[in-house]
Amino acid sequence: MKVWRLIIFTAIIGVLQVTLLDCFKVFGVKPDILLIAVFMAGIFLDLRPALNVGLLAGIFKDAFSLTPPGVNTILFPMWIFLIAKLIHEVSIDDNLTRMLLLFVVVLLNNIISGLVLIYSGGFLPLGIFLRITLLASIYTALILPLILRFIVPTP
């Protein structure tokens, strides 16, 4: 996959994440398509360009989200490192494996972001935290094959 293609895709998705995606909420939760872009960068790109995509997506998400500043800027490149390390150990060729891995990444990202928010003095009821964490993870994982169909060329 070409680097410029994923960087443009990340910029477009960043704009969609904060504007148009509000129309596609399910139970008040929308998919984290910026994290999908980070996930795809970790899978399809070399480490250095993937880190650039992760840093760009993290800065963009921090600018427009309620999490404390810098959380996503740190987490997104961390996910790239972990995904790149995992890909050297395990083959991730089919969409089901990618969906399961993305589910785990989004679940852990939401848990860490929620804990940082609570630790920094914010209040988040347990029921809302669990709903957001689980539904956003499932919703994001289910959106992945649709996005892969548009962004990854088929042979």
CATH code for the domain in which residue 66 is found: 1.10.1760
The per-residue pLDDT of the chain, averaged, comes to 87
Total structural domains in the chain? 1
pLDDT tens for each residue of 23-33? 888 888 888 88
- Whole-model pTM: value is 0.87
Is 86:43 a contact under the CB 8 Å cutoff? no
Is 42:59 a contact under the CB 8 Å cutoff? no
pLDDT tens for each residue of 93-130? 888 999 999 999 999 999 998 888 888 887 878 888 88
Q: Between 58 and 3, name the one with better pLDDT.
A: 58
Which sign does the torsion angle of CA 82, 135, 34, 57 carry? negative
Whether pLDDT at 154 is above 70: no
Of the candidates 35, 20, 13, 9, the one whose C-alpha atom is nearest the C-alpha of residue 139 is 35
Whether pLDDT at 150 is above 90: no
pLDDT confidence band for 75 (50 / 70 / 90): very high
Whether pLDDT at 155 is above 70: no
pLDDT confidence band for 153 (50 / 70 / 90): low
pLDDT for the residue 92: 84
Domain that holds residue 7: 3-151
